[in-house]
Amino acid sequence: MHQWATPVVAAAAALVRQYFIEGFYPTGVSEPADGLQPSGALVKAVMLNGADNMEGFTEVGLPIEPAPSCRQGYGRLNLARALHLQAEVASPAAMQVYDQVGIETGQKIEYCLHVASATQLRATLAWYDRPSLLSAATNLVNDLDLILLGSGDIPLQLGNLELEADRLNTVERLDRHLDPGLYALRVEAHRVPIGSQEFALVITGDFKVSQSGPGVDCFVPPLHLHYRQHPLLHHAPYLQTHLSLPHPHAVPIPMPPLLFPPRPAPRPPPEPTALPSRRP
Residue 152, SS3 per DSSP:
coil
- DSSP string for residues in 208-261: EEEEEEET--TTSPPEEEEEEEETTEEEEEEEEEEE--SSSS-EEPPPPPPSSP
What is each CA distance from 192 to 43, 104, 130, 214, in whole angstroms?
A: 23, 6, 10, 16
Tell whether the model's pLDDT for residue 229 goes beyond 60.
no
What is each CA distance from 178 to 130, 153, 156, 204, in whole angstroms?
A: 35, 15, 10, 12
Q: Which of 2-6, 196-200, 267-271 has the lowest mean pLDDT?
A: 2-6
**Which structural domains are found in the chain, ordered by start?**
2-131+139-214 (2.60.120.380), 223-252 (no CATH)
Tell whether the model's pLDDT for residue 131 goes beyond 80.
yes
Residue 243: pLDDT band (50, 70, 90) is very low
Percent of the chain with pLDDT over 90: 59
Highest mean pLDDT among 65-74, 201-210, 235-244, 251-260: 201-210
Residue 237: pLDDT band (50, 70, 90) is very low
Mean pLDDT (whole number) for 196-201: 98
CA 175 to chain centre: 16
Residue 136: pLDDT band (50, 70, 90) is confident
